[in-house]
Structure 1
Amino acid sequence: MSTHQPLFRDPRAPVRERARDLLERLTPDERVAMLHQFAPAVERLGLAAFRTGQEALHGVAWAGPATVFPQAVGLGATWNDELVRRVGEAVGREARAMRARDPRVGLNIWSPTVNLLRHPLWGRNEEGYSEDPRLTAALATAYTRGLRGDDPVRWRTAPVLKHWLAHNSETERDTSSVSVRPRVLHEYELPAFRGPVAAGAVAGVMPAYNLVNGRPNHLSPLLAEQLRTWCDHDLVICSDAGAPGNLAGSQGYCGTHEEAVAAALRAGVDSFTDHGEDPAPTLARVRGALERGLLKQDDVDTAVLRLLAMRCALGEFDPEPPGGEDAGTAGTAGNTAGAAFDTPGHRALAREAAEQAVVLLKNDGLLPLAGGTRVAVVGLLADECKLDWYSGTLLRRSTPLDGLRERFGADRVTYAEGSDRVRLRCRDGWLSVPPSPPGPAGGEGGDGGTAAGTLDPALRRGRTDLPPLTVTAEPGAAAEFALADWGGGVLTLRAADGRCLSVAEDGLLRASAEQPGGWVVRETFELRPYRGGRLLWHRGTGRYVTAPADGARLARDREAGTTFTLETVERGTDAVADTARDADVVLVVAGNDPHIGGRETEDRTTLALPPQQDRLWRAARAANPRTALVLVSSYPYAVREADAALPALLWTAHGGQAAGQALAAVLTGDVPPGGRLPQTWYARDADLPGLLDYDIIGARTTYLYFGGTPLYPFGHGLSYTSFAYGPLTAGHDGGTLTARCAVTNTGHAAGDEVVQLYTRAVGVAGPELPRPRRALAAHRRIRLAPGQTAQVEFAVPLADALGCWDVAHGRWTVTPGTYGIDAGSSSTDLRTTAVVRVDGEPPRPRSVADLRAADYDEQHGTELVDLTRERGDAVATAGLGPGELVFHACDFRSRPTTVTVTAARAEPGEAEIALHLDDPGGDRLLASLTVPATGDRHAYTTVRAELPDPPTGVRGLLAVLHGPVRLARLGFGGPSSAESP
């Protein structure tokens, strides 16, 4: 019997050679089958089934109990790359250990999310690290390095970055298109992805649902033109769930599903996540595309080769080690060895991460709390340890109340939730909760994006074995519910036994859920006024509740809901005030439930704290001025009045399993507060751009461009001690910017300082273009004892620190001139400054022989759209008014006599493009060109006009677009390449 092993089984051979050998052994049909998320086993080759996609944003998710770390935005608040790397390592080790017990746990990790926190109303704010691209890139690199492991060949897990590209809104997320101008693309969006990919720690990327410049992200030419040029290994592109079907479905971008899968494969998508665990529809579409000649076998093979190379790097095809995979040593010992689960080290790390994520926003001496302090802990989140959609199941939990009682003793810590205690009365009596029978929780399965979603009992919504609510005529048998208002009229109702009212698939209303949750949240309601009473509307189904004799349930079609009267037994503000009066210090713990009012599929509508929670801190302060507001939330709030009225405020993201212990340690000074805000906290809604306005330059948003006064600036965070900065020295050698300064703890307590290095253009050559007010170049978190001094040094590539995208010439450049280098504690608290000079050739004027319309310097009333279905950008008018494009420093020294525009107009009739010259005496009309109807948005025509008064010198050019039209190019001087889009 032969003992010869095929090449793909040889762990000593190069990964790509092994993958190529395996590819050649697969039949064409088997290769096509590999393209779906759920790739089948190939028994004749000994290949197991494989699934792409295991969520692990801050711990292994959707796979049962696991160590739960702080939310990603909380990890962002640590500003600690090394800590985040250790978290990634722990998550990777737990994924390996969990897979050894359950093969449904995947090693292709769909994490981290590197979308920038550009807009704080984004529902998925909790998933990102920061609004700054370089901080995001640094933390994502750290996390993926931990997930990947240090072995040069074998990967512990295979991380996939989410979501390519410019994805910051849940509103119509599969059909909305955003305009991303070249400067925003190259200076803001791409660096967040490029950092971790270039570091070699990323196995793949997932495109986003939305469209960018009119083209679906799953067809983005940037996958090939940018992403896959940043590293020297094969990147796997995994589609988002359902997105391939959207191309010919909700987006209508492709005429048929066969055309859609063909276009996606050619653009670079390798793995199709569609139709859940059923690969048949996707595979039929791929085969149909092959039969129609839309795809070649080479297109399929290229994608499958990448997938096989990833699986090979994970050690899947290696000979199994002694003891089996449960030994955690598949492949080489350096990387997949050490699979570990819920170790003391992981528990300590979860607490350390939660401690480092706490941000002290304001402190007028109230904190830290001294030993023996009598503390009142109040608020809707005071005794909660909330999870989000991408959390694992808690093995243990610590709420703020738990943490403070553990620290001070239960006899010195009092508590009031602050929810209103209410009863619901209808014509026939009061709603009542029948006694619960004994027995374990059952219930229906949750809505997971993959089969792994059904593994997690935390996502199983309630119990169907419980009796539904009934109506009783006896007032004494009426149920009291704790009503929590989460803002926007959205509320939850909790029964006396601690279970929330929930509606299961059978439509019955029960007190059955431990917490709100699930893909469709079945525990949220609204009380809507109706004929002097209230109708109870169930948000998850959009139906009203009715209460017949046989039990409360959802109203059926054309059936009226029951009218209720809301009777308040106790107001939460009264309970909070009573608890606050006798305490030395009051801590009001407010914030959000991550499953309600801001989450995946749902953006927020306001920065305001929900009214009920706003009333609670006011009631606490009125009863006891020594009140602090502790915000535990997935995103920023505008709490100007609280900031003005209260002596102390803190913020932390939902901190995972050790959240309460961590918060107590920081409040008491056992651990110094050192977290920093990873995004701007704006003072009011009016400071925000539109949710779909991604032009941070034009809209003047994020700390990079915002000219207003934020409530708390990017990088902000206070300490219980003080730090002094010595003089900053900075210089460069043409390739690297170096900066150094001494930082001293000048206070009486140990403390963490996050030293932040910023750069700004002081005086640079060339046209006056908007540059960031300042931009983060580097950061380092350090801990200093009282009186201790640390020398902090930074070395940053000069192009990264000072460069910008030269839109006129399509290149990254460092413009000659003077730059300020600042170091300090936040983007506005800068302690020491230096200046560096960069020499070089000044920027050349912009050539006008072939002007891409998308390369404008300023715009008004336009949007970027797809030039063709495959690649390129054009500019179209947006809205009813004319659109304007401004091009600075155009070189007209050749005195051109003609102008040519390349444009398209799908609508009937004509459009006009007027070209104006910026002369010293004012605007001068150069030409007005009429664009006829072309019948299709991608059908371009060329229109030419004479210039009777030729322009001269270096001037600004204004193009005004009247009527619906797409402008691709302009060319001066006669026929040019502008004739072809």
Structure 2
Amino acid sequence: MTDHPLPFRDPQLSFALRTDDLLGRLTLDERIAMLHQFAPAVERLGLGPFRTGQEALHGVAWMGPATVFPQAVGLGATWNDDLVRRVGEAVGNEVRAKRAQDDRVGLNVWAPTVNLLRHPLWGRGEEGYSEDPALTSAVAVAYTRGLRGDDPHYWRTAPVLKHWLAHNNETDRDTASSSVRPRVLHEYDLRAFRDAVRAGAVAGVMPAYNLVNGRPNHVSPLLEQHLRSWTDQPLVVCSDAGAPSNLVDSEHYFDTHEEATAAALKAGVDSFTDHGTDSTVMTGRIRDALDKGLLDESDIDTAVRRLLAMRFALGEFDPELDPYAQVDDLDTEEHRALALEAAEQAVVLLRNDGLLPLAPGRGHTVAVVGLLADDCKLDWYSGTLMHRSTPLDGIRERYGADNVVHTEGVDRVRLKTSEGWLRVPEADGTQDGEARGAEGALDPALLAGRTDLPPLTCGDEATELALVDWGDGVLTLRTDEGLYLSVADDGYVRASADEPGGWVVQETFRMEAVGGHDGGHRLLHMGTGGYVSVAADGAKVAVSGEKISRDDATVFESETVEHGADAVARVAAAADTVIVVAGNDPHINGRETEDRTTLALPAQQDRLWRAAHAANPRTVLVLSSAYPYAVVDAAAALPALLWTAHGGQAAGTALARVLAGDVSPAGRLPQTWYASDDDLPGLFDYDVIGSRQTYLYFGGTPLFPFGHGLGYTDFTYSELRTELDGELLRVSLTVTNDGATPADEVAQVYVRRAGPVGAARPSPKGLGRLLGSLDDPTDLPLRKLVAHRRVHLAPGAQERLDFTVSREELGHWSVAHGRWTVEPGAYEILAGASSADVRLTATEVVDVEAQGPRPVVARGLEAVDYDRQTGTVILDRTKTEGDVVAAASAGEEGHLFYRACDFGEGVEGLAFLVSGEGSVAVTVGGHSLSTLFSGDQGPYAYRTVEAVLDLRGVHELRVGLSGSVRLARIDVIPRKESA
């Protein structure tokens, strides 16, 4: 009998030694069980259960009341690393506090999302920080440092970055492949993850659902080749929900689940999130893979070791030493103040001709109108609000309720059938009482999905409904009591939800015209795909699980009682100033599982600001949204325009303080606002360089540029100094507040290659967009953010800002040499208030040796290392590693262009490593020939096809691909030595 603890319980030992000791004490079954998201307890060793995964994107999500901060894209709009770090600290502390109340709350948090906001129609754009990798990295580092905490040994929470890699589409998200060439991979997508991992505050990553270059992210070799090369820390890779099964079920990448599970584990996935809390399916697959020789026990031990290391870091085995074990910071005064500060700093003033700030004054009437005027929208990853401030709430509080008038601007309608008017029956007193809280407030937890409320019926009296078209014809219908029509599991339609929401939204409908303009409408329920039918037992969309068909749908006549635009015009005309609040509902038309279809503001909301402005020229448009909009007419016509992401619990108070001038707005756009859908590339086009995406490459004129944002005072920039000091670029400048208002300014520093690289770019459409400039072999960015800082200055005050930038930020990934390269020559350093508002410039010259042409004889050519392409796609060379290039369409030839290929003193020809069947056409050095071959043995059966060519010196090589040919590599055929 001894009092000495087991080694893994001994806090005097290192975490690594303790982890190894504990691992050695676990049985094989116990180790396998730990690979599921819900790892069971090991009672014989005193280990409790452990869960990977707690959503904490902008507050603790899904676990009841918590402080709700602005959406992630709003945090990105603050451009304030210090603020975001403090938000991370608060969220981490609330995770700890809620963990003490509820052991379902996990300390391994799945946040933040660092996918770049490449495409503004991506449905999950609200979850990211920016389209720019440098800004995204800075904000992610700040947030994860806050979540992780400052203790050198123990972690407040263990952040996991989402979603690895190149994930920007919800459409076909588990089957679509992102074609990512090496330059985009190294300069864009990897960068978003790299800096946060290197900063040491990240516990792991979550692979995305999609494929990259034809290979699912959950079996990506990049996890080991790049992610785990950035740190010595044992990073944990947690699968996305259901993704392990997708490898077989939807992607058909493997024939069996045992093969798929083994491949994911070998590629680096450590924790499998699949089949909910039922771990038996995944552990059974792992056991079967082990029995079939697809896995070794060492593969299992490698993953479990990483998971145990995370648990040690979270203090699970040292509660008496864990500095965060007793944290109880939930809904503190400091957190409420921080939520307000973050919401204020996220507001971006897009346009202002002097109408703002709007000082409160006695007798000065403000009309607050619009579909979001009296709403505080949450999203899928929000917590439950403990405090709620809508724009109307905030403006009434700041300007005085007697000086504020309001109308929502909804269309008010009545629906009639052949049997009478559609109506909402009154619930009996018991049911109604149960649905309301102590103060009469509707309890969403009791209302949504209820089946004890009576369904809608038809009768002599109509229920007037508020109809909102959120865009694309997607409607919500709401009663005067604020209850949305919703469909419960039994298929009946009831007025039973206080907001649209849920994984499958049950509160949205679409009206389909029947037999022309006057033929009435069918009502399609979007959540089930069934049509509304009103029978004697009430309105329903399904019977016994079977959806109501179109033929059996009830036809409704719609009578408009009042158009929302008329109500807005009436209120606007009677007010001194109008504030129109428009935007999106984060559960509708753009969210996880659903991409947007257009940048346009929904037509119903477009009519509202136009009606307000026609009645009152002193109209301000506030866009409260998760995404950019192409509001060209509004930007031209209105005196003031603002944007803020959904700002959490303090959104309304923050907006009112900005409007009143209590706070000078200093938010900056974290992504480009384009003027038209025509400016956008295809949703699935991940080549930001070739298709001229984001502010880095876009050659057109945006509606509002990246980094844009105005304020209520003027700042001047002066005394720019730059110096190349070895591997560092040092930049300093002075910012002065020349106005009479204390305010924040966001100083931004960009770099670009001087000369032709910074000149005007080709049209973003057509062939020029695909090829880029023939005179520009490297296609460097128009400008690239390398540093930023948000500073607060009193009137007349100035501050000297110093920035230190790695010289490698001037460079790019060289496909010719397979390494990061800084070319010799002149580089411009640009300082100013946005990517388009440059106040100061300087030039530095890099004096290094030029890299020279492609050493084809020595290195050969990887097919994917092209300079330009048209009509091709990148796919997987094998299921475990490598890339190939193929024609994007079997019926059209794809083309690859390789610049400055050096064939030295001469070669006899080229050897193409290919699979599939079709043809390879070559144009080089004045020669053109095409080789046709057949005998397709599958995509991974490679063979060498030779083209005899007499080549010497430096030439551009052009390769055409047709059919199902996959080109992996090009090598030279050396000259035979003379006898």
TM-score bucket of the superposed structures, by smaller chain: over 0.9
Distance between the aligned counterparts of 1:275 and 1:414, measured in 2?
Answer: 51
- Gaps in structure 2 of 5+ consecutive residues: 436-442, 758-774
The one-letter amino acid of 1:368's match is P
Change in CA separation of 1:200 and 1:437 when aligned onto 2, cut-off 3 Å:
farther
1:941 is the counterpart of 2:943: yes
Structure 2 match to 1:665: 657
Structure 2 match to 1:916: 923
Distance between the aligned counterparts of 2:330 and 2:203, measured in 1?
Answer: 23
Greater shift, 197-206 or 950-959, is seen at 950-959
Structure 1 match to 2:351: 362
Structure 2 match to 1:74: 74
Runs of 4+ with >6 A deviation: 440-444, 764-767
The answer to whether the Cα contact below 8 Å between 2:68 and 2:648 also exists between their aligned partners in 1 is yes
Distance between the aligned counterparts of 1:292 and 1:265, measured in 2?
Answer: 15
1:540 is the counterpart of 2:524: no
Distance between the aligned counterparts of 1:757 and 1:386, measured in 2?
Answer: 34
Distance between the aligned counterparts of 2:942 and 2:448, measured in 1?
Answer: 54
Structure 1 match to 2:898: 887
Structure 1 match to 2:740: 748
Structure 2 match to 1:496: 480
Greater shift, 165-174 or 841-850, is seen at 841-850
| Matched residue SS, 1:897 | strand
The answer to whether the Cα contact below 8 Å between 2:692 and 2:699 also exists between their aligned partners in 1 is yes
Report the Cα offset of residue 973 of structure 1: 3.0
Structure 2 match to 1:380: 371
Greater shift, 298-307 or 4-13, is seen at 4-13
Change in CA separation of 1:117 and 1:174 when aligned onto 2, cut-off 3 Å:
same
Structure 2 match to 1:566: 558
Trace 1:382-781 onto structure 2 (pairs within 5 A). Answer: 382-438=373-429, 461-473=448-460, 477-531=461-515, 532-556=519-543, 557=546, 560-763=552-755, 768-781=777-790
| Matched residue SS, 2:951 | coil
The one-letter amino acid of 1:351's match is L
| Matched residue SS, 1:194 | helix
The one-letter amino acid of 1:332's match is D
Report the Cα offset of residue 438 of structure 1: 4.5
The answer to whether the Cα contact below 8 Å between 1:459 and 1:518 also exists between their aligned partners in 2 is no
Return the match for 1:785 from 791, 794, 802: 794
Distance between the aligned counterparts of 1:42 and 1:589, measured in 2?
Answer: 54
Return the match for 2:821 from 813, 816, 831: 813
The one-letter amino acid of 1:377's match is V
Structure 1 match to 2:761: none
| Matched residue SS, 1:159 | strand
Distance between the aligned counterparts of 2:756 and 2:522, measured in 1?
Answer: 63
Report the Cα offset of residue 434 of structure 1: 1.6
Greater shift, 462-471 or 350-359, is seen at 462-471
Distance between the aligned counterparts of 1:337 and 1:730, measured in 2?
Answer: 48
The answer to whether the Cα contact below 8 Å between 1:900 and 1:974 also exists between their aligned partners in 2 is no
1:795-818 CA-to-partner distances (Å, cap 9, x unmatched) read 01111x212101111111211111
Structure 2 match to 1:345: 334
The answer to whether the Cα contact below 8 Å between 2:444 and 2:497 also exists between their aligned partners in 1 is no
CA RMSD in angstroms, aligned pairs only: 1.7
Report the Cα offset of residue 7 of structure 1: 1.6
The answer to whether the Cα contact below 8 Å between 2:490 and 2:542 also exists between their aligned partners in 1 is no
The answer to whether the Cα contact below 8 Å between 2:425 and 2:457 also exists between their aligned partners in 1 is yes
Distance between the aligned counterparts of 1:192 and 1:846, measured in 2?
Answer: 29
Greater shift, 560-569 or 154-163, is seen at 560-569
Report the Cα offset of residue 927 of structure 1: 3.9
Distance between the aligned counterparts of 2:627 and 2:756, measured in 1?
Answer: 36
Report the Cα offset of residue 975 of structure 1: 9.4
Change in CA separation of 1:483 and 1:253 when aligned onto 2, cut-off 3 Å:
same
Structure 1 match to 2:768: none
1:225-283 CA-to-partner distances (Å, cap 9, x unmatched) read 00001112100000000000000110000110000000000000000000111111111
Report the Cα offset of residue 609 of structure 1: 0.3
1:722-763 CA-to-partner distances (Å, cap 9, x unmatched) read 111103111111211110111111112111110000000115
Report the Cα offset of residue 337 of structure 1: 5.0
| Matched residue SS, 2:556 | strand
Structure 2 match to 1:931: 933
The answer to whether the Cα contact below 8 Å between 1:443 and 1:461 also exists between their aligned partners in 2 is no
Distance between the aligned counterparts of 1:460 and 1:821, measured in 2?
Answer: 57
1:857-886 CA-to-partner distances (Å, cap 9, x unmatched) read 000010000011100101011112111110
The answer to whether the Cα contact below 8 Å between 2:476 and 2:507 also exists between their aligned partners in 1 is yes
The one-letter amino acid of 1:412's match is N
Report the Cα offset of residue 582 of structure 1: 1.4
Structure 2 match to 1:451: none
Report the Cα offset of residue 332 of structure 1: 3.3
| Matched residue SS, 2:535 | coil
The answer to whether the Cα contact below 8 Å between 1:94 and 1:341 also exists between their aligned partners in 2 is yes
Q: What TM-score comes out, normalization by structure 1 length?
A: 0.94
The answer to whether the Cα contact below 8 Å between 1:764 and 1:818 also exists between their aligned partners in 2 is no
1:543-579 CA-to-partner distances (Å, cap 9, x unmatched) read 0111112211114446511111111111101110111
| Matched residue SS, 1:699 | coil
Report the Cα offset of residue 439 of structure 1: 5.7
| Matched residue SS, 1:552 | strand
Report the Cα offset of residue 928 of structure 1: 2.8
The one-letter amino acid of 2:942's match is Y
Report the Cα offset of residue 583 of structure 1: 1.0
Report the Cα offset of residue 972 of structure 1: 1.5
Distance between the aligned counterparts of 2:95 and 2:908, measured in 1?
Answer: 67
Distance between the aligned counterparts of 1:429 and 1:211, measured in 2?
Answer: 52
Identity of aligned residues (%): 64
Distance between the aligned counterparts of 1:814 and 1:440, measured in 2?
Answer: 71
The answer to whether the Cα contact below 8 Å between 2:869 and 2:897 also exists between their aligned partners in 1 is yes
The answer to whether the Cα contact below 8 Å between 2:908 and 2:975 also exists between their aligned partners in 1 is no
The answer to whether the Cα contact below 8 Å between 2:909 and 2:951 also exists between their aligned partners in 1 is no
The one-letter amino acid of 2:157's match is T
Report the Cα offset of residue 959 of structure 1: 0.8
Report the Cα offset of residue 437 of structure 1: 3.8
Return the match for 2:853 from 834, 845, 851: 845
Report the Cα offset of residue 432 of structure 1: 1.1
The answer to whether the Cα contact below 8 Å between 2:777 and 2:867 also exists between their aligned partners in 1 is no
| Matched residue SS, 2:250 | coil
Report the Cα offset of residue 786 of structure 1: 1.2
The one-letter amino acid of 1:485's match is D
The answer to whether the Cα contact below 8 Å between 2:431 and 2:453 also exists between their aligned partners in 1 is no
| Matched residue SS, 1:21 | helix
Trace 1:157-306 onto structure 2 (pairs within 5 A). Answer: 157-306=157-306
The answer to whether the Cα contact below 8 Å between 2:664 and 2:743 also exists between their aligned partners in 1 is yes
Distance between the aligned counterparts of 1:443 and 1:856, measured in 2?
Answer: 66
1:901 is the counterpart of 2:912: yes
The answer to whether the Cα contact below 8 Å between 1:389 and 1:594 also exists between their aligned partners in 2 is yes
Change in CA separation of 1:439 and 1:115 when aligned onto 2, cut-off 3 Å:
farther
Distance between the aligned counterparts of 2:278 and 2:432, measured in 1?
Answer: 29
Distance between the aligned counterparts of 1:633 and 1:296, measured in 2?
Answer: 49
Distance between the aligned counterparts of 2:430 and 2:177, measured in 1?
Answer: 50
| Matched residue SS, 2:532 | strand
Distance between the aligned counterparts of 2:63 and 2:447, measured in 1?
Answer: 12
The one-letter amino acid of 2:395's match is L
| Matched residue SS, 1:846 | coil
Q: What TM-score comes out, normalization by structure 2 length?
A: 0.94
